[in-house]
Structure 1
Amino acid sequence: MKIQIYLLVSLALSMVFNACETDKDIDTEKPVIDISFEGAKPINCETLYFGEAFELKMLLTDNVELGSYSVNIHHNFNQHSHSTEVTQCEFDEVKEAVNPFILTEDYTIPDNLRRYTTSDLVTIPSGNNDGLYDEGDYHFFISLTDHEGWSTQKGLSIKILHR
């Protein structure tokens, strides 16, 4: 009986002390995607080319710790919008997608970093087994998540053309 009372008192005290503990380091800020520096790529309204590679250059920052990021490229032939940029790009005429290019890539960021500049090589192939990819308006969508799970996105309008 004494053991049970001792265990109950210990458990109660443990709960009281843990309940009163405050976590002053709670992360409440979203990470930041910066493409405003010289050499950032891609930028809004930029033209990229099928059959060529480019270096993905972005500055990623967070107040506590970065986590991971992903890139998605998909067609914008119907001129839908999820751009986060102020600059309005000139779009081609609305058209039906026949063989659109699609890319989704996930990237990891080394642990314990608050600042990271990407330098990933992204290749845009000319086509697939169905032929050349459709050229025209595309979206370049970036998603950045910090270590705590906060995320931010940046949507860019780009063109992808054949040379």
Structure 2
Amino acid sequence: MVDEFITYTELADKKVMEAFVSSDLHMPEAERLFSHVLNAQHIWAKRISGEAVIYDVWQEHKKENFNRISLNNFKLIHACLATKNFDEVLVYKNSKGEEFKNTVGEMFLHMLNHSTYHRGQIITLLKNSGIEPPVTDYIIFKRTNLL
């Protein structure tokens, strides 16, 4: 089920990125939040893989770079999914340098839930800016055979 939710997150993020690209509006708060989503996905995937983190939690990216960053994130996420055991306990440090232990499964679920939470905020900001928000509901993706 986690692998399907990863695919769902990747597809839902693509719909949000398409909304950004199709608009000429500058939406700093929505772009800041989506940058944060991408950064968090990057950070959690790097923690799971044991690789060094490149992006800061709240580092801002230009919307023109969202797709490239997302592609790199999901390449690593899928590699982790293929090589890691969900029950494996990993020790990692948060952005403050504090050490924690969690299972790979817990880390994946947190990353995916975090993405969904902020996508909801971004959808609201897009709608408030006059942009038709993309439909990103999991059940709609299932009903339309996207998953």
TM range (shorter): under 0.3
Structure having the larger proportion of residues in strand: 1
TM value normalised by structure 1: 0.26
Name the larger-Rg structure.
Answer: 1
The normalised TM-score by structure 2 is: 0.28
